[in-house]
Protein backbone atom coordinates (compact mmCIF):
# COMPACT_ATOMS: atom_id res chain seq x y z
CA UNK A 1 0.00 0.00 0.00
CA UNK A 2 1.28 3.43 -0.95
CA UNK A 3 1.97 5.93 1.83
CA UNK A 4 0.44 9.32 1.01
CA UNK A 5 1.19 12.40 3.10
CA UNK A 6 0.83 16.17 3.09
CA UNK A 7 3.88 18.19 4.12
CA UNK A 8 4.10 21.90 4.89
CA UNK A 9 7.57 22.97 3.83
CA UNK A 10 10.21 23.42 1.18
CA UNK A 11 10.18 20.78 -1.56
CA UNK A 12 13.83 21.48 -2.38
CA UNK A 13 14.89 19.99 0.97
CA UNK A 14 13.27 16.57 0.53
CA UNK A 15 15.21 13.34 0.18
CA UNK A 16 12.95 11.41 -2.18
CA UNK A 17 13.50 9.75 -5.52
CA UNK A 18 11.79 12.61 -7.41
CA UNK A 19 10.33 16.01 -6.77
CA UNK A 20 7.83 17.46 -9.22
CA UNK A 21 8.49 20.94 -10.49
CA UNK A 22 5.56 23.10 -11.54
CA UNK A 23 7.50 24.30 -14.57
CA UNK A 24 6.88 26.69 -17.42
CA UNK A 25 6.86 25.35 -20.97
CA UNK A 26 10.40 26.59 -21.61
CA UNK A 27 11.77 24.64 -18.60
CA UNK A 28 14.00 27.63 -17.90
CA UNK A 29 13.11 28.32 -14.29
CA UNK A 30 11.03 31.28 -13.28
CA UNK A 31 9.11 32.36 -10.23
CA UNK A 32 7.50 30.40 -7.43
CA UNK A 33 8.45 26.78 -6.89
CA UNK A 34 10.04 26.59 -10.35
CA UNK A 35 12.51 29.34 -9.50
CA UNK A 36 13.18 27.89 -6.05
CA UNK A 37 13.96 24.45 -7.51
CA UNK A 38 16.26 25.88 -10.17
CA UNK A 39 18.11 28.08 -7.62
CA UNK A 40 18.59 25.17 -5.22
CA UNK A 41 19.63 22.71 -7.95
CA UNK A 42 22.12 25.03 -9.64
CA UNK A 43 23.24 25.45 -13.22
CA UNK A 44 23.35 21.68 -13.84
CA UNK A 45 19.55 21.52 -13.79
CA UNK A 46 19.17 24.44 -16.18
CA UNK A 47 21.69 22.90 -18.58
CA UNK A 48 19.88 19.58 -18.51
CA UNK A 49 16.51 21.24 -19.15
CA UNK A 50 17.92 23.04 -22.17
CA UNK A 51 18.84 19.74 -23.84
CA UNK A 52 15.17 19.15 -24.70
CA UNK A 53 14.39 20.44 -28.19
CA UNK A 54 12.15 23.45 -28.63
CA UNK A 55 8.78 22.93 -30.26
CA UNK A 56 5.97 25.37 -31.03
CA UNK A 57 4.68 24.64 -27.51
CA UNK A 58 8.05 25.13 -25.79
CA UNK A 59 10.17 22.33 -24.43
CA UNK A 60 7.22 20.77 -22.60
CA UNK A 61 3.53 21.36 -23.40
CA UNK A 62 0.86 21.68 -20.71
CA UNK A 63 -0.16 18.35 -19.20
CA UNK A 64 3.10 16.65 -20.14
CA UNK A 65 6.33 16.12 -18.21
CA UNK A 66 10.05 15.51 -18.64
CA UNK A 67 12.52 14.01 -16.19
CA UNK A 68 16.02 15.27 -15.45
CA UNK A 69 18.73 14.80 -12.90
CA UNK A 70 18.56 16.90 -9.75
CA UNK A 71 21.75 18.93 -9.71
CA UNK A 72 22.55 19.90 -6.12
CA UNK A 73 19.15 18.86 -4.73
CA UNK A 74 18.78 16.03 -2.19
CA UNK A 75 16.49 14.03 -4.48
CA UNK A 76 17.56 11.79 -7.36
CA UNK A 77 15.47 13.36 -10.12
CA UNK A 78 13.25 16.30 -10.95
CA UNK A 79 10.12 15.68 -12.99
CA UNK A 80 9.10 18.94 -14.66
CA UNK A 81 5.43 19.27 -15.55
CA UNK A 82 3.60 22.19 -17.07
CA UNK A 83 0.18 22.86 -15.66
CA UNK A 84 -2.53 24.77 -17.46
CA UNK A 85 -3.01 28.50 -17.15
CA UNK A 86 -6.47 28.60 -15.59
CA UNK A 87 -9.22 29.74 -17.96
CA UNK A 88 -12.26 28.07 -16.41
CA UNK A 89 -12.67 25.74 -19.39
CA UNK A 90 -13.20 21.97 -18.87
CA UNK A 91 -9.91 21.31 -20.65
CA UNK A 92 -8.07 22.90 -17.68
CA UNK A 93 -9.05 20.02 -15.39
CA UNK A 94 -7.98 17.41 -17.94
CA UNK A 95 -4.59 19.07 -18.45
CA UNK A 96 -4.01 19.37 -14.70
CA UNK A 97 -4.99 15.75 -14.13
CA UNK A 98 -2.62 14.73 -16.92
CA UNK A 99 0.23 16.47 -15.10
CA UNK A 100 -0.16 14.20 -12.06
CA UNK A 101 -0.88 11.08 -14.12
CA UNK A 102 2.09 11.57 -16.44
CA UNK A 103 4.46 12.30 -13.55
CA UNK A 104 3.47 9.05 -11.83
CA UNK A 105 3.87 7.07 -15.04
CA UNK A 106 7.26 8.68 -15.73
CA UNK A 107 8.43 7.95 -12.19
CA UNK A 108 7.35 4.32 -12.56
CA UNK A 109 9.10 3.90 -15.91
CA UNK A 110 12.24 5.33 -14.31
CA UNK A 111 12.08 2.87 -11.39
CA UNK A 112 11.41 5.57 -8.79
CA UNK A 113 9.66 4.64 -5.56
CA UNK A 114 8.96 7.99 -3.90
CA UNK A 115 7.64 11.21 -5.39
CA UNK A 116 6.85 14.65 -3.97
CA UNK A 117 4.43 16.94 -5.78
CA UNK A 118 4.39 20.70 -5.53
CA UNK A 119 1.05 22.48 -5.96
CA UNK A 120 0.77 22.66 -9.74
CA UNK A 121 -0.81 25.70 -11.46
CA UNK A 122 -2.04 27.38 -8.25
CA UNK A 123 0.44 30.26 -8.28
CA UNK A 124 0.76 32.66 -11.20
CA UNK A 125 -1.19 30.23 -13.41
CA UNK A 126 -4.25 31.07 -11.30
CA UNK A 127 -5.87 27.68 -10.78
CA UNK A 128 -8.25 27.82 -7.78
CA UNK A 129 -6.45 26.03 -4.95
CA UNK A 130 -9.31 23.83 -3.73
CA UNK A 131 -10.23 22.68 -7.24
CA UNK A 132 -6.57 22.00 -8.09
CA UNK A 133 -6.06 20.03 -4.88
CA UNK A 134 -9.14 17.90 -5.56
CA UNK A 135 -7.84 17.08 -9.03
CA UNK A 136 -4.39 16.25 -7.63
CA UNK A 137 -5.68 13.95 -4.87
CA UNK A 138 -8.29 12.25 -7.07
CA UNK A 139 -5.80 11.63 -9.89
CA UNK A 140 -3.12 10.25 -7.60
CA UNK A 141 -5.64 7.96 -5.88
CA UNK A 142 -6.86 6.76 -9.27
CA UNK A 143 -3.39 6.08 -10.72
CA UNK A 144 -1.49 4.70 -7.70
CA UNK A 145 -3.06 1.21 -7.81
CA UNK A 146 -1.72 0.86 -11.37
CA UNK A 147 1.85 1.90 -10.47
CA UNK A 148 2.68 -0.36 -7.51
CA UNK A 149 6.41 0.42 -7.63
CA UNK A 150 5.68 3.82 -6.03
CA UNK A 151 5.45 3.37 -2.28
CA UNK A 152 5.39 7.01 -1.12
CA UNK A 153 3.61 10.10 -2.46
CA UNK A 154 3.98 13.47 -0.82
CA UNK A 155 1.99 16.62 -1.50
CA UNK A 156 4.31 19.44 -0.47
CA UNK A 157 2.65 22.75 0.33
CA UNK A 158 4.66 25.92 0.79
CA UNK A 159 1.78 27.84 2.38
CA UNK A 160 -0.75 27.22 5.14
CA UNK A 161 -3.76 27.64 2.84
CA UNK A 162 -2.78 24.78 0.51
CA UNK A 163 -1.66 22.63 3.46
CA UNK A 164 -5.08 23.00 5.14
CA UNK A 165 -6.89 22.16 1.89
CA UNK A 166 -4.84 19.00 1.28
CA UNK A 167 -5.19 17.85 4.90
CA UNK A 168 -8.98 18.00 4.53
CA UNK A 169 -8.98 16.14 1.20
CA UNK A 170 -6.62 13.30 2.00
CA UNK A 171 -7.97 10.33 3.88
CA UNK A 172 -6.32 9.81 7.27
CA UNK A 173 -3.41 7.31 7.28
CA UNK A 174 -4.37 3.71 8.00
Residue 21: partners with Cβ closer than 8 Å, 6 or more residues away: 33, 34, 37, 78, 79, 80, 81, 118
Neighbours of 47 (CB within 10 A): 12
Q: Could you say which of 10, 17, 34, 138 is catalytic?
A: 34
Tell which residue, 100, 121, 102, has the closest CA to residue 32: 121
34 is catalytic: yes
Sign of CA dihedral 6, 10, 16, 22: positive
**Number of H helices and number of E strands within the chain?**
5, 6
The secondary element (H helix, E strand) that includes residue 94 is helix 90-109
**Residues labelled catalytic:** 34
Amino acid sequence: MTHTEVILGDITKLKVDAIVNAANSGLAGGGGVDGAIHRAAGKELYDECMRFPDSPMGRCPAGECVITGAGRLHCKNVIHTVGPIYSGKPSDALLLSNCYRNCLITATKSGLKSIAFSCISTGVYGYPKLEAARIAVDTVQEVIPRVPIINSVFFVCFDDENYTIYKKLLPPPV
